[in-house]
Chain A
C-alpha cells in the first residue's frame, strides 16, 4: 500500500498535468505551444537550473560522474539508433534524433523530483541539460543536415549551467534576490511543459502507425537497457543510479517532432513515435519506478 501511494505521488501529478493539456485542447481553447516552448527554454529552464543548484550541494565528483554517465548514455543511444536504422534501411535525419533524445524535461524532471526530492532534481537537470543542448544542436543538425554553432552559443541553458557549475565548484552563492527570482521563474518549467505535452498529443497528426509504434517502443526498451547498463558500468548507486535509468527510459522527446516538422523530415511518423512512446510510458512508468526505488 505504501509503495502504491509513493508511486501515485510520482506518477499521478504527471498524468494530471498532461490531462489538463488534453482537456485544454479538447475544449478548443487556443494554445500557443511555440510561446510556451520559447518561455521555457529561454527563461524558465535557465532559472530552474540556477535555483536548483543553489538548493543542493553536489560534490564535483558526483557532478562529473553523472555528467559522464549521461554522455555515455547519449553515445550509446546514438550508436544503437544508428545501427537499427541502418538495419531497417530507414533514413537517419527523420528517425535518429527521436531515438537519441528522451523526454528528459517535461516528464523526466517531475518524476525524478517527486521520487528523489531536490537532489534527484539536480541530478536529473544535469541529464536534461545535455539533452536540451544536444537536441537543439546535434538533433537539429541531424534533421537539418548541417551543424550550427550559433545555435549552441545562443542556448541560455548553456550559460545557466556554466554559472551553476562554477558556483558549485567555488562554493559561491547567488544573491538572495536573484535566487528568489530564479526560483519563482523556474517553477513554471515543469507544469508548462506538461500541459504543452498534453495539448500537442491531441494536435499531432500521426502517420505510419506500425513503424512509429515499433520505434517508439524500441526507444523505451533501449532506454531502460542502456540506463541500467551504464549505471552498472559506472558503479552508480542510490539516486544517481535511479536518475540515469529514469531519464534514459523516457519516451521520445517532443522537440524531435518540432525539428522534423521544421525541416520536413516525416513529421507525421515522428509524431507517431512521440504519441505511441508517451502513451506506452504511462503504462511502463510504474514498473520503471519499482525498478529504481
Chain B
C-alpha cells in the first residue's frame, strides 16, 4: 500500500506481449513526460525550473531513495556484493569518461558526469523487474541508491567544479540514505507513517524532473548534434561493455548478472539536467544528451534484453 505513489514500483508485468512492446511501455513514460514539458515550454507558459528542481532534488529524491531502500528485500551479503560490483562499474565509467573528454577536448564539468550517472531509477528498475522479477528489482534498487549517492556527491562536485564540504552536510539524499541504512542494518521496518510519507513525497521526483527537462528542451536550439550523438553512443556501448565485463570478472550469475548489466547500460540520468542548471553549466547539451541517449536505448534495449535474459 505504501508503495502506490512511488511510480517506480508499480510497473505491472503482463506476459504475452512482444518483447519490444514491453520495453516500449517502460521507456515511453520518459518521452511522454518530457513531451508534456516541451509543449508547456513551447506554449510560453511560465515555468520556474529552479523551484521545480529544488522540489525534486531536495524533497523528492531523498524520499524516493529512503522508500526504495527500506522496502528492499535482499540479504546484506547480496546487497554488499551488488554495491561492490556497481562501485567497480562506476570506477570504470570515470576512466572511460576521462578518456573520452580528453580525446574530444570537452570540459569535464558538463560532460564527465554524463558518463558516470545513468538512469538507473525510472528506467533501470522497471527493466530489472521485468527481466528478473522482485529479486531483480531489489538488486536494481541497490544499484539505484549507490548510483544516486555517487551522482549527488561526486557528480555534484564535478558540476560545482570543486570538492565542497557542503556536498555532504547540505545534501538531503545523504541523510535519507544514512537513516535508511540504520533501519536496514538493525533489520527494523520503518514506522508506517514514515514509510507512507516517503513513498508519497518520492512520487514527486521523477515526473517533475522529466517535465522540467522537456521545458528546457523547448527553449534550446540544436547545435553540435554530431558531438552529442558520439558521446551518447560511447556512453551506451561502454556502459554495456563495462557491466558485462565486471559481471563476468566477478562471476555473477542469474539476476545479479542481469541486473548489473541492465543498470550499467542505461542512458544518461535525468538529474544531470538539474545539476547542470544549478551550477550554470551547459544545460542545452546536457538536456540533449539525456534525450538522445534515451532515444538510442529505445533501439538498443531489445538487443540488451536478449543478451541478459
Contact = CB atoms under 8 A, between A and B. Distances in A.
Contact of A180 (B6, B29, B192, B197): B29
A43 interface: yes
B217 interface: no
Nearest to B35: A181
Contact of A188 (B32, B50, B207): B207
Interface residues of A, number: 45
Interface in B6-50: 6-7, 10-12, 14, 17, 21-22, 24-26, 28-29, 32-33, 36, 45-48, 50
A34 B66 CA distance: 29
Interface string A9-51: 1111100110010000000011110110011000110000000
Contacts of B7: 180, 183-184, 187
B305 to A, nearest CB: 16
A177 interface: yes
Contact of A191 (B47, B192, B194, B201): B201
Contacts of B247: none
A13 B48 contact: no
A184 B206 contact: yes
Contacts of A180: 7, 11, 25-26, 28-29, 126
Contact of A5 (B55, B191, B210): B191
A107 to B, nearest CB: 12
A185 B208 CA distance: 8
Q: Is the interface of A mostly helix, strand, loop or mixed?
A: helix
Contact of B192 (A9, A35, A118, A184): A9
A192 interface: yes
B51 A31 contact: yes
B193 A181 contact: no
A183 B4 CA distance: 9
B200 interface: yes
Nearest to B21: A176
A281 to B, nearest CB: 18
Contacts of B204: 187-188, 191-192
Nearest to A180: B29
Contacts of A191: 5, 59-60, 200-201, 203-204
B142 interface: no
Given A8-B191, A118-B4, A176 B51 contact: no
A190 B193 CA distance: 16
Nearest to B7: A184
B33 A185 contact: yes
A178 B12 CA distance: 12
Contacts of A114: 1, 196
A7 B4 CA distance: 18
Contacts of B32: 177, 181
B49 to A, nearest CB: 10
B288 interface: no
B122 interface: yes
B211 interface: yes
Given A12-B193, A177-B24, A35 B51 contact: yes
A73 interface: no
B271 to A, nearest CB: 15
Contacts of B59: 20, 191, 195
A38 B45 contact: yes
Contacts of B36: 43, 185
B202 to A, nearest CB: 8
B48 A32 contact: yes
Nearest to A196: B55
Given A12-B193, A20-B201, A187-B207, A35 B46 contact: yes
Contacts of A184: 7, 29, 33, 122, 206-207, 210
B54 interface: yes
A195 B208 CA distance: 14
Nearest to A189: B203
Contacts of A185: 29, 33, 36, 207
Contact of A113 (B4, B6, B25, B54): B4
A286 to B, nearest CB: 13
A189 to B, nearest CB: 8
Q: Identify the 7 closest CB pairs spanning chains A and B, nearest first.
A: A187-B203, A9-B192, A12-B193, A177-B28, A176-B25, A177-B25, A184-B7
19 contacts: A9-B192, A9-B195, A12-B197, A16-B193, A17-B200, A31-B51, A32-B48, A32-B51, A35-B46, A35-B47, A113-B4, A114-B1, A176-B17, A180-B11, A184-B33, A185-B36, A187-B6, A190-B203, A192-B208
Interface of A: 5-6, 8-13, 16-17, 20, 29-32, 34-35, 38-39, 43-44, 55, 110, 113-114, 117-118, 121, 175-181, 183-185, 187-188, 190-192, 194-195
